Amino acid sequence: MGHNNLWTFEIEAREDGFTAIAGIDEAGRGPLAGPVVSAAVILPIAFPVAGVTDSKKLTPKKRAYLYEEIYSHAVAIGIGIVDHMEIDRINILNASLASMSMAVDNLFPQPDYLLIDGPFPVSSVLPQKPVKKGDSLSISIAAASIVAKVTRDRLMEKYHQDYPLFGFSKHKGYPTKAHKEAIKKYGCCPIHRTTFKGVKEFL
């Protein structure tokens, strides 16, 4: 997929008269522990960084490099974090969308158009377009996916220091074999999502 193809949605929005186009994506819907983290990113038209794509396709080292580059060049970046307790209270889909809205609210300057990863719109008065697989199709959403993923991974590395028995620095809370075995052995820690299968059986 060429560099230009990733700008299609942004170019279309510009042709419709929008100037500050934010891509929004989240990280952390699947894990059994920790928060869901969203990022909203407005890139300049002359964004000079190559290699931005869906964060899941990148190595941790490449993600960390691109994270710094995106922070160096972006017009604005907003972060939204919804913790495990709120995820258990309102469910992971609602928590993901809430963290996305929060990320948009935290943008300065504010955008005038939103490109959202996934099929669902977010709660916002701004015009917006949900894009399925947006992190592979839009440069702005891809940039947001990288920022969200690196931000969340670093939070989980901090949580690892508080709860070292669970190996959060390795799997970041995702339901790996090692993580499931740790839950079986030690039960749940305070940041586990108690409504999730793989956790609730061990409460």
Residue 2: what pLDDT? 44
Domain membership of residue 203 (yes or no) is no
What CATH number is given to the structural domain containing 110?
A: 3.30.420.10
* Amino acid at site 182: A
- Starting at the edge strand found earlier in the chain, the sheet holding 113-117 runs 76-82, 36-42, 21-27, 113-117, 128-131
Residue 21 structural domain: 4-198
Report which of 106, 110, 140 is spatially closest to residue 24, judged by C-alpha positions: 140
Domain membership of residue 34 (yes or no) is yes
Report whether 36 contacts 95 (CB < 8 A): yes
Report whether 122 contacts 114 (CB < 8 A): yes
The DSSP letter of residue 1 is: -
Residue 1: what pLDDT? 39
Distance CA 201, CA 203 (A): 6
Domain membership of residue 159 (yes or no) is yes
Residue 5: what pLDDT? 87
Domain membership of residue 103 (yes or no) is yes
Question: What's the number of domains the chain is made of?
Answer: 1
Phi, psi (rounded to 5 degrees) for 38: -115, 155
Locate 126 and state its tokens. 């701004």
pLDDT in tens, the chain (203 residues): 344 689 999 999 999 999 999 999 999 999 999 999 999 999 999 999 999 999 999 999 999 999 999 999 999 999 999 999 999 999 999 999 999 999 999 999 999 999 999 999 999 999 999 999 999 999 999 999 999 999 999 999 999 999 999 999 999 999 999 999 999 999 999 999 999 999 999 99
Residue 4: what pLDDT? 60
Report whether 182 contacts 169 (CB < 8 A): no
Question: H-type helices in 22-172, by residue range?
Answer: 60-73, 84-90, 92-105, 134-137, 139-162, 168-171
